[in-house]
C-alpha cells in the first residue's frame, strides 16, 4: 500500500503533491463525506493553482439558482402571455382604427361646416338688425299695432 501511495505522489522538496489519479479519488471520497476539499497543483511553469470544493455550499448555491431560475421562468411566461393577449387585442382593434379615422375626418368637416354656417347666420342676423333699425327709423313716431293685441298693449317706437 505504501508503494501505491508513494507512486501516486510526486515529491518536490519537503512538499508532497498528489498526481491526478490519486487527487481525483481523494476528492471523491471527501466530497461524499460533505467535507471541504482543497485541490492544488502546479502548471508546467511552476505556478501554483488551486480550487476549493465544498459540496454542501455548492448544493445550497445550486438550489438557490434553481429557485431563482424557476421564478424568472414564471415571470417571463407571465410577461409572454400578457404580450400575446395585448397583441390579440391590437389585432382586433386595427380594423376599427380606419373607421375611427374616417369618423374623425367627417367630424372635422362637420365642425368646419357648422362654423361657416354660424358665421353666415351671424352675418344674416346683423343685416336683419340693420334693416330693422332702418325700418323703425323711417316710421318715426307712428304707433305700431302688435301681432297679438290681447297679450300686449299698443307700443310706440
What's the structural domain count of the chain?
A: 2
Strands 155-156 and 143-144: antiparallel
Give yes or no: residues 23 and 78 share one domain.
no
Spatial neighbors of 54 by CB under 8 A, at least 6 apart, are 36, 37
Q: Is residue 20 part of a domain?
A: yes
pLDDT by 10s per residue, the chain, length 157: 333 333 334 444 444 555 556 655 655 565 566 677 788 888 899 898 888 888 888 889 999 999 999 999 999 999 999 999 999 999 998 888 888 899 999 999 999 999 999 999 999 998 988 888 777 766 555 555 555 555 544 544 4
Give yes or no: residues 63 and 12 share one domain.
no
Residue 53 has phi, psi (to 5 degrees) of: -110, 125
3-class secondary structure, 19: coil
Q: Is residue 10 part of a domain?
A: yes
Q: Say what the pLDDT of residue 104 is.
A: 93
How many C-beta atoms surround the C-beta of residue 141 within 10 A? 6
Q: Is residue 41 part of a domain?
A: yes
Range of the domain at 83: 55-125
Give yes or no: residues 47 and 59 share one domain.
no
Give yes or no: residues 83 and 113 share one domain.
yes
133 by Cβ neighbours in 10 Å (0-12 / 13-18 / 19+) ranks as exposed
Q: Say what the pLDDT of residue 4 is.
A: 35
Give yes or no: residues 19 and 80 share one domain.
no
Q: Say what the pLDDT of residue 78 is.
A: 97
- Mark residue 2 as left, alpha or beta (left: phi above 0; alpha: psi -120 to 50; beta: remaining): alpha
Q: Is residue 152 part of a domain?
A: no
First-to-last alpha carbon distance for the chain, in angstroms, is: 141
CA distance readout (Å), 93 to 7, 79, 83? 79, 21, 15
Amino acid at each position: 500500500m505504501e508503494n501505491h501511495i508513494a507512486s501516486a505522489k510526486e515529491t518536490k522538496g519537503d512538499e508532497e503533491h498528489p498526481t491526478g489519479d490519486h487527487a481525483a479519488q481523494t476528492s471523491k471520497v471527501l466530497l461524499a463525506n460533505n467535507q471541504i476539499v482543497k485541490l492544488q497543483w502546479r502548471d508546467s511553469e511552476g505556478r501554483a493553482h488551486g480550487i476549493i470544493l465544498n459540496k454542501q455550499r455548492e448544493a445550497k448555491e445550486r438550489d438557490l439558482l434553481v429557485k431563482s431560475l424557476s421564478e424568472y421562468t414564471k415571470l417571463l411566461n407571465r410577461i409572454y402571455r400578457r404580450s400575446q393577449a395585448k397583441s390579440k387585442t391590437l389585432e382586433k382593434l386595427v380594423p376599427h382604427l380606419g373607421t375611427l379615422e374616417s369618423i374623425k375626418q367627417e367630424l372635422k368637416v362637420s365642425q368646419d361646416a357648422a362654423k361657416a354656417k354660424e358665421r353666415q347666420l351671424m352675418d344674416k342676423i346683423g343685416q336683419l338688425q340693420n334693416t330693422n333699425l332702418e325700418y323703425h327709423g323711417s316710421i318715426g313716431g307712428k304707433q305700431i299695432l302688435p301681432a297679438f293685441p290681447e297679450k300686449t298693449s299698443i307700443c310706440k317706437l
